[in-house]
Structure 1
Amino acid sequence: MAFREKNLIVLPPVEIAGRYVKRYHVPALGSAGIEPEVEKAAYAVLPELFPEPDGTPPASFVVLHRGGDTGAYLNAYNWTWDSVLHFAGAAAGQPALDCPDLDPTHFVKSDPGVRNWIGCVWELGPFGHERDAWIRHMLAPGTPDLAGYLGDAFPSDVTGPAVSVAPGAPLT
């Protein structure tokens, strides 16, 4: 299978259930975006993926990924304990992930005891940027700057830098 980067769309942050959420969308190859009904269903289940408040500024970033089949995947990365990233996920339309049907709007929370996955190669593109943005705006300054963090997003383009590897060649 040949690897190909996917498009990455950055949407403005929103407030959901008292948390500020930076949003990244990875549409299916050849698609202009995530279908509105899939997006609505994903964000409806999102509060179930948030940790209990602990005094850390209530900030998260999510990756909503639409597969090339019936699957849709929601990964919620939530800042907690000042500098720790909490993960919870949900999936829809993917029987291999224990979804009850092929409906990409019927999200069910993933069981971390069964699958400890935190994201696929297309969903992890913003990961390093978000770590650095959290340090830059929340940990390094004398006073945390939540607005600065929320405004500092991985750029819309593709899910990561182009990778070119000859068959059988080691990744370095």
Structure 2
Amino acid sequence: MAFTEKLLLVPPPVQAGGRHVKRYHVTADPRGIDPEVERAAYALLPDLLPPPDGTPPASFVVLHRGGDTGAYLNVYSWVWDNVLHFAGAAAGQPVLGCPDTDPTHFVRLDRSLIGCVWELPPIQHERDAWVRHLLAPDRPDLAAYLADSLPAGTTGTTTPASTPGTTTVTGERA
């Protein structure tokens, strides 16, 4: 199976359910995610957010338009000061319990899936940004966290491999 990275788009944050929500969009389409799919996904967003618990009210989402009929909304929210809460929804993917192949008909997922290979890169960035701006400083800075997003580009990065003398480059094996 050939592997190809997808595009990573970074729209501005929004507010939903009393939370600041950073956004990442993943797609192979250079035009981005269809506005109808985006509207349908974000209409469900407030239902996927946890209640406030005293942690700065911040979340991030990964909206992914698959290469077939599927669309996926992964919602990650900071709770208990340093824990990442997950809730997800899918549309157009009957194998996940969707009633049809309509990519705008989102339903909440009840499976313990947290994301595919194209949806995972924002998690590492967001973890590091949360530590950098809210946990490590003497004074937590939610505004700095909200301004610190993974840059738009592709879902892959150049990363040193754990084995000395080898390097893995996006989409290739060393």
TM-score, reference length from structure 2: 0.90
Structure 2 unaligned residues grouped into runs of 5+: 158-169
Runs of 4+ in 1 over 2 A off after TM superposition: none
The structural deviation recorded for 1:165 is 1.8
Q: Which residue number in structure 1 is paired with residue 126 of structure 2? A: 130
Question: Partner of 1:105: helix, strand, or coil?
Answer: coil
Question: Partner of 1:74: helix, strand, or coil?
Answer: strand
Q: 2: CA distance between counterparts of 1:80 and 1:138? A: 12
Count of aligned residue pairs for this structure pair:
162
Q: Which residue number in structure 1 is paired with residue 57 of structure 2? A: 58
Deviations 1:39-75 (A, max 9, x none): 0110110111111110001100100000011100000
Q: 1: CA distance between counterparts of 2:60 and 2:95? A: 25
Q: 1: CA distance between counterparts of 2:156 and 2:40? A: 26
Kindly report the root-mean-square deviation, in angstroms, between the aligned alpha carbons of the 2 structures. 1.0
- 1:20-31 maps to which residues of 2 (within 5 A)? 20-27=20-27, 29-31=28-30
Matched, 1:165 2:173: yes
Structure 1 unaligned residues grouped into runs of 5+: 167-172
The structural deviation recorded for 1:17 is 1.7
* 1:26 partner amino acid: V
Q: 2: CA distance between counterparts of 1:38 and 1:130? A: 24
Q: 2: CA distance between counterparts of 1:18 and 1:9? A: 24
Q: 2: CA distance between counterparts of 1:160 and 1:129? A: 12
* 1:53 partner amino acid: P
Q: 2: CA distance between counterparts of 1:32 and 1:165? A: 29
Q: 2: CA distance between counterparts of 1:31 and 1:105? A: 19
Question: Partner of 1:38: helix, strand, or coil?
Answer: helix
Deviations 1:6-46 (A, max 9, x none): 0000111111121100000002x244200001101101101
Matched, 1:10 2:10: yes
